[in-house]
Structure 1
Amino acid sequence: MVEAKPGKKSDRVTIREVAEDAGVSVAAVSKVLREAYGVSESLRNKVRASMDKLNYRPLASARGMRGQTYTLGLILPDIRNPFFADILAGVNSALERTQYQLMMGTSHSHGPAEEAMIEAMIDRQMDGIILIGTTKYVDRLGHLARQKPLVAIGHHAKSNTDFDTVNNDDQLGARLVVKHLLANGFRNIAMLSLATTTSTILAERELGYRREMIEQGVGENINIVRSPQTLREVQIAARRLLGGPDRPEALFCWTDFIALEVISVATELGLSIPGDLAIVGYDNTMYCDFAQNALTSVDQSGELLGLQSARLLIERVRGRGEAEHFVVTPRVVARNSSKRRAV
């Protein structure tokens, strides 16, 4: 008969060992881990010093059984869009001095993938979810928020009470673009938008573009071209618009990611920017400043959006019940791509 061997002792540091090293009770360490109310700064520093010294890592599954895992989910529609990197930087900055860890996934703007990712984050007992630019899950956000604390970035839902939102004033941003281009001598202004029926940010930007064009007396020049977000489809739409007989004088693109591709297409067609065509983007990402782009863009403070989304989500996790809807005021950052037209 083979004698059973005793199980191997785990090398993982326990909460009891942290307590012994810090010279405090296990209950005190637990309070620090839970960020319980009333814990003094000196006790917190002492316990955290022992955690760092012993390389203590709380077991996520055990914390989940006690009610929190201190993990947050972030779902991006696309990792290629540089604006989402700005948001991610803001979220990470907000979490630096907290116990929360961020887990990230990409949906590629695909409804079933987004839904599966959300369900996986719920199954893994994440404490809350930040959802960026959803266009497929909008009808179920309330249902989701009743299961798990939720913050939506890039979704206007001021009447909602189940979840928080973080946005810029998209309608104002589009109005500012039209005003800027008109002030620089461009009147035939078109807009390149996204082919979707569910994005509230696109609806707001298109509405702002339309309203400002009408109020400025150039409503007859309203021209909204919609394209899927794949680069191939954007190239096709841009070539059709810029190579036709009714080429606009200026083009307002709904995001920098698309505007940069339009600059490439315009250059291939032999058009000078802004001599033959002015181009304005939206997001003011780092690539706008590159000399070969010099792209005028609407700054909606991506890092601030990320900071605020993390703040709101943690407040939700900790029990806040009233919905908050944070809005950033946009501004136009002018560069060479929309420089004033020579008279």
Structure 2
Amino acid sequence: MSDTARPPLRKARTAPTRATIRTVAEDAGVSVSAVSKVLRNAYGVSDALRSKVNASIDKLNYRPSASARGMRGRSYTLGVLLSDIRNPFFSEIMAGINEALSQTPYQPLLGVSDSAVGLELALVESMVDRQMDGLIFVAPRMALTDIDAAASRTPTAVIGIHSPGDTLFDTINGNDELGAEQAIDYLVGQGRQRIVHISLDLSPEEDSSVTAHREIGYHRAMERHGLSAFAKVYYAEHSPLARDVARRILEASDRPEAIFCWTDACAFEVISAALELGLSIPGDVAVFGYDNSPLCDLAQNNLTSVDQSGRQLGMEAARLVMERIEGRQEARHVRLETKVIARQSTG
């Protein structure tokens, strides 16, 4: 074939130019520093500026370079440590975290410890080693000294631990003592007196846990109603073990009129045990949960529960961590209000 017969060479395909922070600034008609402030979720950024910059980011498909961010001192990642991925309430917390981060450059990266302290500590070390900008712990089992040690290196917010005093980390919880009192007040108002509580068995030094605070509220309310003689606490995880404990309680000659559980997941096991024994709910026994997780609304559960807004807990945790990243030094301890959401399990 002669040279003149050769087909024309294809024009080399050029890779699309990657958008930079400067091209975002030019498209939005603002300064580079203004774009940087939006990306950092800096204090004082107006909604109008944030909307304008985010519109250009979406239009140009701008993605900040993770390596460049790391060299500048930020990775824009938050480590989220869950003690148990099976707890349905934790999905609401994660939804709140995601919602709070949706308009920021931060991304959550998840670790699950299965309530094993050794694994928790290993996961925290990995998160710190990977230079994550902040940490959120959800119902951790590690010691307070270990949480403080993590917080001394990385901004940390904790859900599921009430601050015992001076700490380096922030806490976000419902008012657990009040929530338990509200549950007992409601059951007593329904005419129940023999009310027992299933809690979580933790070591004595873990009296900062939410379950310890719920026990305090339970005993306080029972005493206030003159029912201390009927007060009794059993211990079980929200696992098949809780069903075994519930079965023993329900088969006893002095079967209680109501069972108040430390979490919805535990209450679901109590409902299963009662139905397996041929008992009616709430006719033979009322069942009360805690968390108001989405599964409470299912017809087979119809569970009355204490609501503490898991989504709000997650949003507050993310907000507090970002405040810490931006320079806040003093610890903050947020406590959300609780309320009873009544359903058929209590009549």
The correspondence of residues 53-202 of structure 1 with structure 2, limited to 5 A, is 53-157=59-163, 159-197=165-203, 198=206, 200-202=209-211
Query: In the alignment, what sits opposite 2:305?
Result: 297
| In 2, Cα distance between equivalents of 1:317 and 1:281 | 36
- Aligned Cα root-mean-square deviation (Å): 2.5
Shift of 1:196: 1.6
Change (3 A) 1:292 1:38: closer
Q: Secondary structure of 1:157's match? A: coil
TM-score (structure 2 length as normaliser): 0.87
Find out whether 1:335 has 2:343 as its counterpart. Answer: yes
Change (3 A) 1:43 1:179: closer
Instruction: Decide which of 254, 257, 266 is 1:249's aligned counterpart.
Output: 257
Shift of 1:53: 3.4
| In 1, Cα distance between equivalents of 2:279 and 2:111 | 39
Shift of 1:37: 7.0
Structure 1 stretches of 4+ moved >4 Å: 8-32, 34-50
Q: Secondary structure of 1:68's match? A: coil
Find out whether 1:232 has 2:236 as its counterpart. Answer: no
The one-letter amino acid paired with 2:338 is: P
User: Is 310-319 or 37-46 further displaced after alignment?
Assistant: 37-46
Change (3 A) 1:175 1:43: closer
Change (3 A) 1:222 1:98: same
| In 2, Cα distance between equivalents of 1:102 and 1:22 | 27
Contact kept? 1:158, 1:325, Cα under 8 Å: no
Shift of 1:217: 1.0
The one-letter amino acid paired with 2:228 is: G
Change (3 A) 1:193 1:42: closer
Q: Deviations over 1:133-192 (max 9, x none)?
A: 112243311111110001001100052341111011111111111111111111111111
Change (3 A) 1:254 1:288: same
| Identity among equivalent pairs (%) | 52
Q: Secondary structure of 1:245's match? A: coil
User: Is 45-54 or 125-134 further displaced after alignment?
Assistant: 45-54
Corresponding pairs, count: 331
Shift of 1:33: 3.8
Change (3 A) 1:97 1:247: same
Q: Secondary structure of 1:191's match? A: strand
User: Is 40-49 or 220-229 further displaced after alignment?
Assistant: 40-49
| In 1, Cα distance between equivalents of 2:250 and 2:177 | 25
User: Is 236-245 or 263-272 further displaced after alignment?
Assistant: 236-245
Query: In the alignment, what sits opposite 1:3?
Result: none
TM-score (structure 1 length as normaliser): 0.88
Contact kept? 1:167, 1:328, Cα under 8 Å: yes
